Amino acid sequence: MPSERVAMFIDFENLVYGVENTDAGVDPRDHEFAVDIQRIVRFVRDEGRLVLARAYADWRSASVRQHQRDLYVQGIETIHVLGRRHGNEIKNSVDVALAVDAVRSLYEREYDTFVLVSGDRDFLPLLRVVREHGHRIIGVSVRESASRDLPNLCDRFVYYRDLWRTWGPEDQRDWGRRSELEIRDLAVFKEHLRQLLADEVGAGGILGATLKPMIRNRIDPGFDETQFGFLKFSKMLEAMPDIVRFEYTNDAHGGDIRVFAVETNSSNSSADPDAPLVHPTLRRPSGTIISRPPIQTWEPTPEAFLTRARARLARTGLHLDLDRRSGILELIHAELPTGDEFRSQAVILEGLEGRPLASGAEVENSTLRRYLWALYQSWVFDIDPPDRGLDHLERGLRLRPEYRELDRLRLRVEQSLVYKVYELLPDEADQARARVCDLLEVDDDRARELLERVEEYRRSQQQRGR
């Protein structure tokens, strides 16, 4: 969209601290994962001409100050927001300053696309105002510090790790290589897309500009092609010739693509089972038929389920080994405040430093951070009301009463793991329980309880229209 005018606002502390508290991951391409201003700018400039770019932080902090030169080189204005000391922590009003400037820009500047680089849910009211003014919204955030509500208000939402991988320097890109996790996740996504096309798209096809929001509404609110390593939506579709084809439009929607589901030959269903398999076909509007390999529908066998579920959950950084998972949660649980006291994640981590598990095994600080983040995302904490405007790492936390028993805390974490792989489970209840038992190393009663809790939560979300 080169003719689009773009304004970008960066909550720079949120970005820096999010990256610093993110594990490098299992992908070997991530060994240098870091804040890279140039990659963000390359991504944004692909959306249009960057007419306004500002980064907000208390620049006295060494963690953010080291990036000032890179911001200057990329033409990004740095806005200083003075912090004030509160006990052992420093608070500032980056979100307020950024929001005020962003709203002012709606009246003083002309632009089409608004880019917010932050995962803080405090910006939700700002995004609603921007949307009311008719601007397209793009969100960028580190996955581990992103509010799950943000993607719902964005026309496009990109996780920083995916952006970092995809928009690296030209000489460092390997277009033909995808990581094992990307390949597995793409295979799962294809099955969902295949079903969506079958349910919603007729013979006339669907515009790409319409299909992408439909994917976000029906499959994944945080969907973006960069999570699978593709620069463009059309490039991702090209990698799925067995389920879709597309054409560039030359009508009123010029510049867009029209996507069609690949047609399959249904005559095979009544044929002799020993007869040769007839390949599905792709038919162009001109009538030309192109053969495609047969579509292999994924069957959730125990082995296939475990492979895909483990790949998906690898991103959480949590252990599927029951003893290891339980031991780490027991260690963390002993340090979590349960009374009137609130403690930040930084203070909790400091209290855990150097402590071994009951088995005597040592635990890395990065592992403890991942578990704390998983607990934070699972809504097991009350947040100290005065701290709601702070970065999530600085907010005072204490366990909610219903999670103060260790087993309830374990159950909540295991529920979140099952929720992430729920759509991979077979429909038959006994088989679903068996898969959960194998995946999390729990007994049948525990698996039954986990599935019941996940299904109840999914029903409540559907009733709320989410």
Determine, yes or no, domain membership for 43: yes
Contacts of residues 384-391 at CB distance under 8 Å and 24 or more positions apart, as own/partner, are 384/342, 387/342, 387/344, 388/122, 389/91, 389/93, 389/95, 389/96, 389/122, 390/89, 390/91, 391/13, 391/14, 391/17, 391/120, 391/145
CATH number at residue 455: 1.20.120.1790
Model pLDDT, residue 257: 83
Residues 286 and 321 in one domain: no
What is the model's pLDDT at position 126?
A: 95
Taking the CA of residue 198 as centre, how many other CA atoms within 13 Å lie in the half-sphere pointing to its CB?
9
Q: Read off the DSSP letter of residue 328.
A: H
* Rounded distance between C-alpha atoms, residue 466 and residue 457, angstroms: 11
- Token reading at 133: 């003014």
Q: Which DSSP category does 343 fall into?
A: B
Q: Say how far apart CA 187 and CA 225 lie, in whole Å.
A: 13
Which pLDDT does position 218 carry in this prediction? 72
Strand arrangement, sheet containing 49-57: 77-80, 49-57, 5-11, 113-117, 136-141, 156-159
> Range of 208's domain?
180-291
Helix (H), strand (E), coil (C) string for 18-61: HHHCCCCCCCHHHCCCCCCHHHHHHHHHHHCEEEEEEEEECCCC
Residues 88 and 120 both lie in one domain = yes
Within this chain, do residues 268 and 385 fall inside the same structural domain, yes or no?
Answer: no
Q: Please provide the distance, in angstroms rounded to a whole number, between the alpha carbons at the two ends of the chain.
A: 30
Residues 144, 306, 441, 421: what is their CA dihedral angle, to the nearest 10 degrees?
40
Low-confidence ranges of the chain (pLDDT < 50): 26, 28, 88, 170-178, 183, 252-254, 265-298, 466
Owner of token pair 């930084």: 346
pLDDT in tens, 225-239: 877 778 788 888 888
Domain count, the chain: 3
Alpha carbon of residue 54 to chain centroid: 24
pLDDT score for 269: 38
CATH of the domain at 26: 3.40.50.1010
In-domain check, residue 97: yes
The amino acid present at 152, given as its one-letter code, is N
Say if 297 falls within a structural domain. no
Last residue of a domain, one of 129, 156, 172: 172
Q: What is the pLDDT of residue 290?
A: 36
- At residue 224, the pLDDT reads 79
Please count the CA atoms within 13 angstroms of the CA of 58 that sit on its side-chain side. Answer: 15
pLDDT in tens, 80-127: 998 765 554 555 688 899 999 999 999 988 899 999 999 988 899 999
Q: For position 169, what pLDDT does the model report? A: 58
- Of 291, 313, 331, which residue is a domain's last? 291
Tell me, what's the pLDDT at 410?
94
**Type of residue at 43:** F
Q: How far apart are the C-alpha atoms of 152 and 402, rounded to whole Å?
A: 29
